Structure 1
Amino acid sequence: MEETAIRMKAYAVNFNEIRVYLSKNYYNGISSKFYLKDFEEDELLLLTGDALNSNDNPDYQEYAFHISFKMGKVYKIVDAYGLSCFLDFSRLSLCKEFDELYYYDGEDLGNTYTQQQTTFKVWAPLATDVILKIYKDDVEQLYPMKRGLKGVYNVSVEGDLELTNYVYMIRHSEDYEVSLDPYAYACASNGRCSIVVDLDKVVMPRHTMPPLLHKTDAIIYETSVRDFSMSSTSGMKNKGKFLAFSELHTSTDSGNPTGLDYLSCLGITHVQLMPINDFATVDERNPTELYNWGYDPAGYNVTEGSYVTDPDDGYKRIQEAQQMIHALHSRGLRVVLDVVYNHMHDVNLNALERTVPHYYFRRNDDGSLSNGSWCGNDLNTTAMMCRKYILDMCKRWQVLYGIDGYRFDLMGIIDQETMKLVDAQGKAIDSSFIVYGEGWNMMTALSEEKRTTIQNNRQTPHIGFFNDFFRDTLRGTNQMESKGYFSGDTYKTNDAMKAICNLEMFDNISQSINYVECHDNATCYDKLQISNYDENEEVKKKRLRLMLAAVILSQGVPFIHSGQEFFRTKGGQSNTYNAGDQVNALDWNRKDMEIDTVQFVQFLIHLRKNNRCFRYDDYEVIRENVSTANIDHRMIEYTLHQDIGEYKDFIVYFNASTNTIEVDVEEGFSLLCHSEKGKIVDNKLKVDGVCLAILAR
């Protein structure tokens, strides 16, 4: 529609106030009278009010009228010349009373299936009409829905509707918009329609996992469903699919383990999956044509169809994701799901906006969309039904699919109360549940003190945060040329000592997610090709091993990017969210070429798991038993003591300089690890340049 040709617009801006906008190209925007036409009562009510002097809309004359009206009814505004337009209720969602009037705490939104009938419920309090359209036996059938309490529209349809496709037709002013069901459990390919499924057919037994006593016992390994298996080197048949994770005895070209077998012998405890909910920019019927990581959510309630063998099969959408998680659980691996509850790919096209316009997305004071995400919109997580929706979806992924934790993308956009409720809900179901995320302070239209940022971590003591101080100090910033301690900037030695113990940043040590590499930005290997261009390949790899050792042995929670342990490369590219499989797919043959480093990581993980001093969960215990020292302004001495474990005492030397540094060794210490196979001679050890040495007693 051409906006400039619209002569009159009318909005309910409060529950007893209407604003009418009359084009100044139409009778100079002047009308002596306005009426409210009630279609249900077939009556015309004269409105009384005033013309407003406003510069906000220079092309329209604005009028304000105070009058009561009933939600769910269809009204028109009529002027003195007979011009009319429908009254639009969508702006009422911005009123402070809206949540109080229309918050719905029921657990029955979506479709509830039995063989005898299916009941459909959708929360659409601003709508004047909702029609259920189902596609059964290639025939469209329409069912008017009845408005109930709190603006929930409902209808029950007799008969067995299993695997029936459906949409909602929702009217807010003049036209109907087609919407998916935001609470459906399945949908057809590329979001064409929602699908009715029988939940009794997707119940899966859950593995009983040993409890995670402390968050610092976790060792997190991040991967993408697609990247994990897509390469021809993966040895997996179901490339880019959920089912690749349940394949057994897969191997590289040289016959060494890949996939699930590899993950289970690496020693990690948690697999963090990049988004698996339905995302927008991959054609689910032609999934190899386009690539995306999945941080472009189209829906939060169903799985991504390109990861399923048949995206039009409602049951496979659920069951193949369940099988993946079941397979990981069978190897003792918990699963963390990366969730993107900060923005949607397109405000106008998703079911949230279409069911309740203007409600689910945060607004600036001038009414424009908040854009802290830099993706065009921010989810309005303080709105009660938006918060409930996030909680309902988090519960679904945990209960139906078996998820063991969440990693929140751009968590700084989400309010602290919502995050605390997500964490409490998860732990009420599973005491070992973990929640962490990106605590960057994004410029969203939410006051800073309410944001779940790393600066506000003491307000959310049970939530973990990606530690960018740890990353930038040890590796360097995201600028390719910048150096950190382990890339040779020994001026950062003292800061690196702080990063390894993490004593000051957080309310508690388990909040520190320690990483130097993740899906975002360049891999450490690629970064060192730029920042350390003047060093040979072997020296660069020594530096990468030092970074891995620091991640695994530091106090806090270690986080490893898939392939980091065999020097993953993306050809020097940084933000590869849509760069394709050739860049992003995991090259499993590279694992064989760097098997020494993989085994080194396995050794470090074993050391961490079998010695509590590397994973203390209390700051006071750390202060009593752990210390760091600066040796020769270039090397870190990391000393640890424990009462129970393989050893009583450890001394770890991180030498990021190119100099050999000699240290005295106390009686009783033996050398567990030295990357140059050094020896203790006469109670002295020469720690080679760019080298890790671990002594134990």
Structure 2
Amino acid sequence: MKQWAAVHIGLCLGMAIMAGGVRAETGAAACDAAADQVLQAAPAIEARAHWLDARQIAWPGMAPAGSYKLYHSAAGRLALAEGQVSGADGELNLQAQDLTPGELAGTPRQHLGAGVRLSLPAALPRETLQDLLRQQLLLVHDGGDGATQATGLQLAGALDDLYAAAAQLPDLGVSLPARAGTRFRLWAPTAQAVSVCIYPRAQGRASRLQPLSLDAATGAWGGGPAQRLDGQYYRYLLQLFVPGVGLVRQLVTDPYAVSLSADSQRSYIAELAAARLQPPGWAASRSPAGVEAPTDMAIYELHVRDFSIGDDSVPAAHRGKYLAFTDRGSRGMRHLRALRRAGITDVHLLPVFDIASIPERGCLQAKVPAAAADSERQQAAVMAVAGRDCYNWGYDPWHYSAPEGSYASDAEDGVRRVLEFRRMVMGLHEAGLRVGMDVVYNHTAASGQAAHSVLDRIVPGYYQRLDAAGRVERSTCCANTATEHLMMGKLLLDSVLLWAREYKIASFRFDLMGHQPRALMEQLQARLKRELGRDVQLIGEGWNFGEIANGARFVQASQLALNGSGIGTFSDRARDAIRGGSAADSGAALLARQGYVNGLVYDPNGHGQHSREELLRAADLVRVGLAGSLRDVELETWNGERKRLDQIDYAGQPAGYASQPAEVVNYVDNHDNQTLFDINVWRLPRGTSAADRSRVQVLAVALNSFSQGVAYFHAGLELLRSKSLDRNSYESGDWFNRLDWSLKDNFFGSGLPPQGDNGADHALMRPLLADPAIKPGPAEIAWTNAAVADLLRIRASSTLFRLRSATEVRQRLQFLNTGPGQNPVVIAAKLDGRGHAGAGWRALLYFVNVDKQAHELLLPSEAGLAYRLHPVQSAAAAADRRVAAEAAYAPVQGRFSLPARSAVVFVLD
């Protein structure tokens, strides 16, 4: 008892001294003079031990007999040399016992193997535990003759245990109470002192240093002046110990910032409900109706800058900006309205939160010279300014809840990005479109003490997911976040709710959602419904890889683990079958791995050997996609067996994986990987005509449009969009990401794409890019645009293409022309509309003939019925007049005639 009591007194005294050291600098000058200093350097030590909770630590692996001690130093002076620890303010003796993996099952630290459980003294006060976590800590095993092993500690388990009440904090960030005053609240339980630096303007010196007080129950620092500081800027000044760096004093922006100055240097003080942040008409603007269930969604994925940067019908000041969506007469907005009339319901914007990789002041635009279609000159010009240009997809979050400044007319003014984002949303609403966001909570742009790091500079080692040695995991590409930790999960929940409430976002697409817990996504789903009183659709990438794969740390929000949740994941089953190969293909595989629509077996390109069985298997996977990748739908497979879709193999996984149609997002093209046009350049025979390339594009869109589930389309898919074969255009500038709403150019042959992700294939690309016969003209682009619009109209014409339950799919969808005797180049299916609201017809039959030859299909079951061509396809304005002229139904035999490379729909009144 005496030992821990003495330690507690010493800790509190040490903390008071350290906190007083900061608070003694009462002038605002401390905001500049005292910032970003290392007060006491500390060596880097691997953090291999984990706090399981506030009183237990897991020591990795089995250790020999001996004692375990936890040393601490408020000033960060601990050192270990020749088995001896120096610089400690005190030490704690820990009790050891074996720890089995079974004891950790179902916990956030279930990935830890067998080891040693170390227990702190049971009578240790909570306040002492809190003080310990603000200090430098070193855990040592002493075998009897000095320290034989030593490690740092990963703190998340203790912080989540001690500060569980923080999950209920309603006002992290800045708030402006109605009764006047300005309140700041920052969760920083390991900080020794926190103040707020106030700046009257985006530039210039601070006017005030406001100390904050620690709430011991939540670990949050709060307070603020009695005056309203609305419209000013702020940063937090923290003193804390950073493992591997030492005791530091540094300025950090607010992770809950709602707006910022240019280049995110200062957080902005604002209440988003304030009238000055609401454009005229904002309160009355509503997300358009028409989506009663997730399967009603037809999503158009669009990048803000791509939309308008090359559109000369947009005022020059608006190009590449939020405000381009307010220019009703521009070609781009006219195109979006046409897509809405055809059936698109949602525009999903690539990341529009605060992005680390785009300079918000003085960004550059490459000056690309005129050069040959296969030249290296274009990429040289683009890459010469990459990193300093105005372009990036934006998958590198800096501040999750603030709009990106480079898309605002003035990034320096904290008001502009909020107002103009809202004006963009209003512009899309006026066009009849709901607005969705692509969000990226699975990683941050940086961690540690890097310039773009925020979270890790406030609570070091907490927000990022760490490996066994305490290093930040980077399986996503960048610094992974630990959304399984209480306050990173809360940040996700609070941030998404803010976007939905304050910006009227109707749906969200989660990047690498499989890196997040299913439980967190379900909590988000319920909270949005509860607090907004409306459904907010959630979809995401449910890929299963990295350190969390196969449930290593928690039940993931991944494809195979989300069934029954109502949350949608992108399905790669039909995507790969339709396009051919996989997203990872390179080199000769790009040419050899033909897919269902681009010639597999029936139109070989001379670069690969394929069998009829491969074509049959591909046709079955296409049918899996058409059935919504549902687990319990049955299909007569290529070899005559009748199987549930979850019994059909897809690369070692079940092809059918979802429980309901809402849990599947169907797509054949998105921002990742080659565009559909470009992948078809690789896989179609070189001599394929421009007209047939357009038809192949439309076939893929047809299969996507007819599939049960959520329909997803990449911007420009309808325009034969090309990125000049670029497989990863995230940093390829405006040049390789162009869109032409005038329908004159698809930009194939814009030069060899950037070396980084494409250089190994440049030799294969050159002859393709240089071939003028491959590049479509305005006539082919216009035809494709019209044909895709017809397909969207067909999907929108009947709820049978948008069934809401697996039961409905089982009862109403019947595949025809299946099994070993099928014609493998024709997909045929029947949708039963009897008694179904919104069906429009008693039945629908759709056919997709991918062959370059016309085919007839005899369906005795449909003989004698009065089928007619779908009204969209029989109309005088139909894009594909071949369908109206050549598609036919002979009722006596049930014979259907299908033009080459066509998608045909018949209806039964």
**Among candidates 805, 808, 812, match of residue 618 of structure 1:** 805
Q: How does 1:218-229 map to 2 (within 5 A)?
A: 218-229=297-308
Q: How does 1:72-471 map to 2 (within 5 A)?
A: 91=153, 93-96=155-158, 98-104=160-166, 105-113=168-176, 116-136=180-200, 138-140=204-206, 141-149=208-216, 150-173=218-241, 174-199=247-272, 200-201=274-275, 202-203=277-278, 204-205=282-283, 206-207=285-286, 209-210=288-289, 212-232=291-311, 235=314, 237=316, 238-251=318-331, 258=334, 260-287=336-363, 288=365, 289-348=389-448, 349-375=452-478, 377-428=479-530, 429-445=532-548, 447-448=551-552, 450-458=555-563, 460-471=564-575
What letter matches 2:358 in structure 1? V
Return 654-663 or 394-403, whichever deviates more: 654-663
* Identity over aligned pairs, percent: 26
- CA deviation string 1:239-293 (max 9, x = no partner): 11111112111138xxxx6455444434311111111001111100124424210
1:390 and 1:337 mapped to 2: Cα distance? Answer: 14
2:92 and 2:707 mapped to 1: Cα distance? Answer: 70
1:552 and 1:181 mapped to 2: Cα distance? Answer: 43
- CA deviation string 1:22-77 (max 9, x = no partner): 667x6x4546x7652xxxxxxxxx65769x9xxxxxxxxxxx99887464698799
Contact 2:287 2:506 in 1 (8 A): no
Structure 1 residues 241 and 97: CA distance shift in structure 2, 3 A: closer
Q: Shift of the alpha carbon at 1:153?
A: 1.1
Contact 2:287 2:435 in 1 (8 A): no
1:185 and 1:473 mapped to 2: Cα distance? Answer: 43
1:461 and 1:452 mapped to 2: Cα distance? Answer: 9
Contact 1:35 1:77 in 2 (8 A): no
- CA deviation string 1:489-530 (max 9, x = no partner): 233222222221233321111211110000000001011111
Aligned to 2:857: 663
Structure 1 residues 236 and 444: CA distance shift in structure 2, 3 A: farther
- CA deviation string 1:587-639 (max 9, x = no partner): 22337642222222222222222212111112222222221123423211121
Structural RMSD (CA)? 3.2
2:399 alignment partner, SS class: coil
**Among candidates 709, 727, 733, match of residue 574 of structure 1:** 727
Is the aligned partner of 1:530 residue 2:682?
yes
Structure 1 residues 413 and 525: CA distance shift in structure 2, 3 A: same
Q: Shift of the alpha carbon at 1:456?
A: 1.2
What letter matches 1:598 in structure 2? N
Contact 2:46 2:470 in 1 (8 A): no
2:401 and 2:359 mapped to 1: Cα distance? Answer: 18
2:160 and 2:576 mapped to 1: Cα distance? Answer: 44
What letter matches 2:783 in structure 1? D
Structure 1 residues 346 and 10: CA distance shift in structure 2, 3 A: closer
1:281 and 1:146 mapped to 2: Cα distance? Answer: 34
- CA deviation string 1:158-181 (max 9, x = no partner): 334122121001111322121101
Return 580-589 or 412-421, whichever deviates more: 580-589
Return 445-454 or 504-513, whichever deviates more: 445-454
Aligned to 1:473: 577
Contact 1:71 1:128 in 2 (8 A): no
Return 587-596 or 449-458, whichever deviates more: 587-596
2:225 and 2:683 mapped to 1: Cα distance? Answer: 64
Count of matched residue positions in the alignment of Structure 1 and Structure 2: 657
TM-score by length of 1: 0.87
Contact 1:336 1:404 in 2 (8 A): yes
TM-score by length of 2: 0.67
Aligned to 1:42: none
1:637 alignment partner, SS class: strand
Aligned to 2:888: 680
What letter matches 1:639 in structure 2? K
Aligned to 1:628: 815
Unaligned runs of 5+ in 1: 37-45, 53-63, 79-88
Structure 1 residues 102 and 420: CA distance shift in structure 2, 3 A: closer
Structure 1 residues 279 and 635: CA distance shift in structure 2, 3 A: same
Contact 1:640 1:650 in 2 (8 A): yes
Aligned to 1:488: 599
2:193 and 2:235 mapped to 1: Cα distance? Answer: 14
Unaligned runs of 5+ in 2: 1-36, 56-69, 97-118, 139-150, 242-246, 366-388, 601-614, 632-655, 745-777, 874-879
1:315 and 1:308 mapped to 2: Cα distance? Answer: 10
Contact 1:222 1:273 in 2 (8 A): yes
What letter matches 1:668 in structure 2? A
- CA deviation string 1:135-188 (max 9, x = no partner): 237442212211123221122123341221210011113221211011121111
Contact 1:122 1:154 in 2 (8 A): yes
Return 683-692 or 127-136, whichever deviates more: 683-692
Structure 1 residues 624 and 582: CA distance shift in structure 2, 3 A: same
Q: Shift of the alpha carbon at 1:19?
A: 5.6
Aligned to 1:57: none
